[in-house]
Amino acid sequence: MRFLRLFTKGFFLICNIAVVLLFLAACLAPYISPAWFWPISFLTLTFPFLLALVVIFLVCWLFFNYRYALLSFIALLLGWKSITAFVAFNPPSGNKPVNDDVSLTVMSYNVSQFGLYRERDSKYNRQTMFAMIKKQELDIACFQDFYTSEKKNDFNNREEISEEMGFPYRFFSSDFNRNGMQHWGSIIYSKYPIIASDKVKMSVGPRSESLIYADIVKGKDTIRIINMHLESYRFNEKDYSAIRKIKNQEDTGLVATKSIIQKMREAYIRRSQQADIVGNFIKTSPYPVVVCGDFNDTPASYTYFTIKGDLRDAFLSKGLGIGRTFTGLAPTLRIDYIFASRDFRVNSFRKINSDLSDHYPVIANLSLVGDQQNDDVVK
């Protein structure tokens, strides 16, 4: 019996050590570019599960042998920066928008081309999305994976959103086009005048997208709005089918594993290079900035920390929980963000749980108050 107790204790201690080492490795991911060492990026997808296991081991050891709980406790302290980027701890009572002369309501939303290629009726999907967006009474709207067309009997989303939602000012990247009539890219809409705008290529190649920015004037203030859509894994239906086979432990799924890992590797490396470009661009802004985008990466990643820098994450300032924004693959993926420079106070943050796209829209209410010390400083 004593041997069994010692064996069991030793087994769980070894498991605890292994989990802690993986957890700490995941916490190193923000500091190591995937362009230099890409395997560590895969750990960022497992970060919430590793965190949960570390906490479980901590609690269990407190009941059975409190001395071993110190291992998990130290790991949590060392990984605190990554933990606080992943989980928000704000009470709902303090999450209220402010309507005044210095506030802005901003949406970031990957609209998935307004359901252009969905099986459901794309016209209905588009109309429902328009109604939902219009209801939010936005000052600024940043859309990714945006589609518009000048073809007859097609959807001229660029013009119709301006007209229907009262956005007289806009800037569109038009990264891809077909016959000069159909366009794909990212777009910024504004109720306030745009005095300057441009796009910056984040990578090379036929499918590369752009960072776009628009300098808007609100009262006496000029604010730079930045919007982007970073590299995705570019999984196709065959890849998603293979992932389902892997989850179900089917032998045929193993054949596709190599292809999926290769796509993920290329995306991690490409995103890290794009993040470096975006981070450096943000630092050159002569104005306070609001950054929106679909980063296709989690808060535990090099991409997130490189772009965020010293900016405020609106979700961390006013949100609660893990803030999932992507409906597929895993229930823990927060990959859509609104950041703001420290000239802003974050008044509120919310997410709309809508299945009209494979991403949830996120909305922040911000007030331009100047660089000051307040409760959001650490976030």
Pairing of strands 221-229, 289-294: parallel
- Sequence-ordered alpha helix ranges (H) in 99-156: 122-135
pLDDT for 320-350, tens place per residue? 999 999 987 676 789 999 999 999 999 999 9
Task: Tally DSSP H helices, then E strands, for the chain.
Answer: 10, 15
Residue of 338, 209, 361, 324 lying closest to 270 (CA atoms)? 209
Extract the tokens encoding 234.
Answer: 């570019």
Task: List Cβ neighbours of 135 (8 Å cut-off, separation of 6 or more).
Answer: none
Pick the CATH number of 92-368 from 3.60.10.10, 3.40.630.190, 3.40.190.10, 3.40.50.620: 3.60.10.10
Q: Any residues with CB less than 8 A from the CB of 28 and at least 6 apart, and which?
A: 40
Phi-psi region of 249 (alpha: psi -120 to 50; beta: other; left: phi over 0): left
pLDDT score at 373: 44
Q: Does 134 score more than 50 pLDDT?
A: yes
Say what the alpha-carbon torsion angle 303, 304, 305, 310 is, to the nearest 10 degrees. Answer: 130
Give the sign of the dihedral formed by CA 237, CA 238, CA 242, CA 248: positive
- pTM: predicted TM-score of the whole model, two decimal places: 0.90
Residues 218 and 194 sit within 8 Å (Cβ to Cβ)? no
Measuring CA to CA, which residue among 173, 242, 265 is closest to residue 214?
173
Average pLDDT over every residue of 199-225: 91
Q: Say what the pLDDT of residue 371 is.
A: 57
- DSSP of 138-149: -SEEEEEEEEEE
The answer for 312, left when phi > 0, alpha when psi is -120 to 50, beta otherwise, is beta
pLDDT digits (tens, 9 = 90+) for 108-123: 999 999 887 665 577 7
Query: What pLDDT was estimated at residue 378?
Result: 42
Annotated domain spans of the chain: 2-86, 92-368
Q: What is the C-alpha to C-alpha distance for residues 185 and 240, in angstroms, rounded to an integer?
A: 24
For residue range 228-257, what is the model confidence (pLDDT) as tens digits? 999 987 765 665 566 555 555 555 555 567
